[in-house]
């Protein structure tokens, strides 16, 4: 989750990484991929346009990333390596609602890199694999929400964190990515409430 929001920010972790020319070129190229993808979508993404926008020699881009799928995979991997911490609001419901608001924002901003990345995953097997790794990374990072709730005594210790997080966030993705309904400002809270009530009723206990 937040596959997009993260990647959408020209990201400090990549930008500030120590290392000379190689790291700098990667930053320039991935920033250009982000901008091209957000503006033109997958169909408008080309190696040559990325090279031109990045101000990097075409031959360098082809040698290092080979093809558009390679650029996307590296963009997803860079997003996965970014530090991201779910907000700590003091309650399970509050944390899940905050997470859902971040997801909704990442899909409703225009242009939405989140949507462009998911669309790309339907076109490129390499992008699809990279997106799977990114989702996995994000859900793992989000498990702290469940751990905090266990520490507060809101949840039993044998709760299935991943199942709870997916139940809490899936309705957002379903509406925004698949049903493509207009964003419902209440949905982040409602989906958080549903998951919290289900958890309280023992739905995610292993």
Contacting residues toward a copy of itself, per CB under 8 A: 118-119, 122, 128, 132, 135, 163, 166-167, 169-171, 173-175, 177-181, 190-191, 193-195, 197-198, 200-204
CB of 156 to a copy of itself, least distance (A): 14
Tally of CB atoms within 10 A around 191: 26
CB 14 within 8 A of CB 30: yes
**How far is it, in rounded angstroms, from Cα 77 to Cα 68?**
14
Quote the least distance from Cβ 16 to a copy of itself, whole Å.
30
Q: Of 59 and 201, which CB lies nearer to a copy of itself in the complex structure?
A: 201
Least distance to a copy of itself, CB of residue 58, Å: 26
Structure tokens at 43: 């169909």
Which CB sits closer to a copy of itself, 79 or 118? 118
Backbone angles phi, psi at 120, to 5 degrees: -65, -30
Taking the least distance from each CB to a copy of itself, the nearer of 37 and 56 is 37
Q: Which is nearer to a copy of itself, 57 or 174 (CB)?
A: 174
């Amino acid at each position: 989750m937040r596959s997009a929001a993260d990647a959408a920010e020209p990201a400090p972790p990549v930008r500030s990484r120590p290392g000379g020319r190689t790291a700098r070129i990667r930053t320039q190229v991935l920033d250009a991929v982000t901008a091209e993808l957000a503006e033109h979508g997958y169909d408008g993404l080309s190696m040559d346009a990325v090279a031109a926008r990045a101000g990097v020699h075409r031959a360098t881009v082809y040698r290092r990333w080979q093809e558009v799928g390679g650029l996307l995979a590296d963009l997803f991997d860079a997003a996965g390596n970014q530090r991201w911490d779910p907000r700590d609001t003091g309650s399970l419901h509050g944390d899940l609602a905050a997470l859902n608001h971040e997801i909704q924002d990442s899909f409703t901003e225009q242009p939405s890199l989140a949507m462009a990345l998911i669309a790309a995953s339907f076109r490129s097997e390499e992008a699809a694999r990279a997106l799977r790794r990114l989702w996995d990374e994000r859900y793992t990072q989000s498990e702290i929400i469940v751990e905090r709730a266990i520490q507060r005594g809101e949840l039993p210790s044998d709760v299935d964190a991943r199942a709870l997080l997916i139940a809490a966030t899936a309705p957002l993705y379903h509406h925004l990515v698949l049903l493509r309904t207009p964003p419902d400002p209440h949905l982040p809270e409602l989906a958080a409430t549903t998951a919290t009530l289900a958890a309280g009723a023992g739905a995610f206990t292993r």
